[in-house]
Amino acid sequence: MIEETVFTAHSSALRVWTLLADLSGYARWHPQYRFSNGPARSEKSVLSWLLFDDRRVKFLVHVDSGDKPQKIGWRGGRKGLVTLREHYEIKPIANGAEVRHIFDCRGVVGTLFVLLTRNSIREDMIAQDSAFLAHLKKQSRKSIPDKGYRAAAPSRYLYAAAPMIEVVRPAYCGHSG
């Protein structure tokens, strides 16, 4: 099963990649993932995934961060039983970066998991993408130097629009072969 979402981040592709590659920083913005055991760009890490209520599943993942700043992701699980692969593809565009978020789940248990939670996975990906955009916006505000001026009252129309996140492949994609 493959699920994809696409969203536009109003920041450079390098800045987007840097925040996504900072695995230890996921605790500050990601609603479900916590990474541990190793530096930010190590080849292996332990992913703690909040699945149901307050229950977490932990497993070893291999981090793929070689294509700076075009791609960052991880993969893990037991081949045949359940394999998970998640990555972000980042493409520079005129007003920032287009980010494609891809989640792939395979295997016997993976297929059963997907059949039971497909809509939830899609909703979770959209929530994750929205949380990332909010974190990126907050980080961008922090990087603007304070000149000591009194801040203007925020416009109520400035942040009225929700981020546009497009679900690219919502249908179930079974194994090929």
The CATH number given to whatever domain includes residue 108 is 3.30.530.20
Are 29 and 139 a contacting pair, CB within 8 Å? no
Whether residue 12 lies inside any domain: the answer is yes
Cross-strand pairs, 62: 44, 75
For 15, 153, 173, 176, the CA distances from 103, given in Å and listed in that order, are 22, 40, 12, 16
Whether residue 161 lies inside any domain: the answer is no
The predicted structure's pLDDT at residue 91: 96
The domain of 86 spans 2-140
Cα 136 to Cα 62: distance, rounded to the nearest angstrom: 25
Cα 112 to Cα 19: distance, rounded to the nearest angstrom: 32
Per-residue pLDDT band for 44 (boundaries 50, 70, 90) equals confident
Per-residue pLDDT band for 164 (boundaries 50, 70, 90) equals low
Whether residue 30 lies inside any domain: the answer is yes
Cα 10 to Cα 16: distance, rounded to the nearest angstrom: 9
Whether residue 166 lies inside any domain: the answer is no
Give the sign of the dihedral formed by CA 46, CA 51, CA 54, CA 57: negative
More confident residue, 44 or 115: 44
Whether residue 70 lies inside any domain: the answer is yes
Whether residue 108 lies inside any domain: the answer is yes
Whether residue 127 lies inside any domain: the answer is yes
Q: How many domains does the chain have?
A: 1
Whether residue 22 lies inside any domain: the answer is yes
The predicted structure's pLDDT at residue 156: 45
Tell me the pLDDT tens digit for each residue of 2-40: 889 999 999 999 999 999 988 888 889 998 998 886 555
pTM of the model: 0.76
